[in-house]
Structure 1
């Protein structure tokens, strides 16, 4: 019983810290679904070229079925830029994504200095603030309906 309680406490601590790994399932429609967090990820991790933060905020909103390998019947306005915790949760399942995943990805979180935003290196979860004019990838996400 004591071991079970410790396991639950450890798991909850990891989830709060944003280090619990997503349990991704391939939906065979250009998306990966994390049923734990109820998130849908674009499977093509490098669908959009590297862009600055201002474009990174807007690119996902235009994403819809028929683009980037999607056949999920999603429509423009459903997708968004993920936050730091959401992106970090992908560390354990990067092999399920297509395209370049070994680079920096924008988050919706502000950086540590003015005119900066946080990016995550998906391969190891490193977080760094970058000037918003620097160029990095975007990995769109949306909530399950």
Structure 2
């Protein structure tokens, strides 16, 4: 009796499974005849899956391209801004340089920043340091000026020996500014760089002495004499070459 009951239960369970099972399960249980999927359908399914995979790869590639394009656009914008800023700075610097050049050209003296000063009135180039050699007799003064070169007396102009000399009598006369003559020896008869007031230390020369400086010219009436300039009186005189005077080299204008 128990066996019959168990068989009945088993049959009932199979009936339930048969009701809810998929065709594949029913096939495996032997409840239905198994129907194999045609090869063409499997091939189509495989092709469809491959197409989906290819589509996903293409989407990924396009997204990566879009990301790279966006990054390139941002870099291009940044570079454009940098170029624009560089152009703006260059224009500002050019305007500043042009203004400085205009002011420099309008000044009597222009400090060249290399130990030299240009006299825009005569185009002569003077040693900025007007007291590099102290007081010397005329012969020594001539030698000191002739031997001057870049690297001495604060020079950084690339000049070489033989380029410098003592000023001529006429060059000294052109240098003197009568408006600033002081008879008390307190002030050299020179203007400042702008030509708007008396000379002051560093504007544009340094170490200028309100005293006597040698010229390169011998006195025609007696060659044992040479012309010098009195920067305190603003005049030129002839003195014996054995006297000592200050030395202020110049170049150009020959």
**TM bin (shorter chain):** 0.7 to 0.9
Residues in 2 aligned to 1:44 and 1:67: alpha-carbon distance in whole angstroms: 10
Is 1:46 matched up with 2:155?
no
SS in 2 for 1:115: strand
Q: Tell me which of 95, 102, 105 is aligned to 2:213.
A: 105
Q: Which residue of 2 aligns with 1:60?
A: 145
Unpaired runs of 5+ residues, structure 1, are 1-21
Q: Compute the TM-score of the two structures, normalised by the length of structure 2.
A: 0.45
Is 1:115 matched up with 2:224?
yes
**Deviation readout 1:61-82 (Å, 9 max, x if unpaired):** 1111111111111111100111
Residues in 1 aligned to 2:133 and 2:115: alpha-carbon distance in whole angstroms: 14
More strand by share: 1
Q: Which residue of 1 aligns with 2:174?
A: 89
Residues in 2 aligned to 1:114 and 1:79: alpha-carbon distance in whole angstroms: 22
Matched residue pairs, number? 124
Unpaired runs of 5+ residues, structure 2, are 1-106, 178-190, 193-198
Q: Which residue of 1 aligns with 2:155?
A: 70
Cα distance, 1:114–1:77 mapped onto 2, change above 3 Å: closer
Residues in 2 aligned to 1:24 and 1:126: alpha-carbon distance in whole angstroms: 21
State the structure with bigger RCO (CA 8 A, min sep 6), 1 or 2.
1
Q: Which residue of 2 aligns with 1:23?
A: 108
Let me know the Cα RMSD of the aligned residues: 2.0
Residues in 1 aligned to 2:231 and 2:252: alpha-carbon distance in whole angstroms: 20
Residues in 2 aligned to 1:133 and 1:42: alpha-carbon distance in whole angstroms: 24
Q: Tell me which of 211, 228, 240 is aligned to 1:131.
A: 240
Q: Which residue of 2 aligns with 1:3?
A: none
Q: Compute the TM-score of the two structures, normalised by the length of structure 1.
A: 0.77
More helix by share: 2
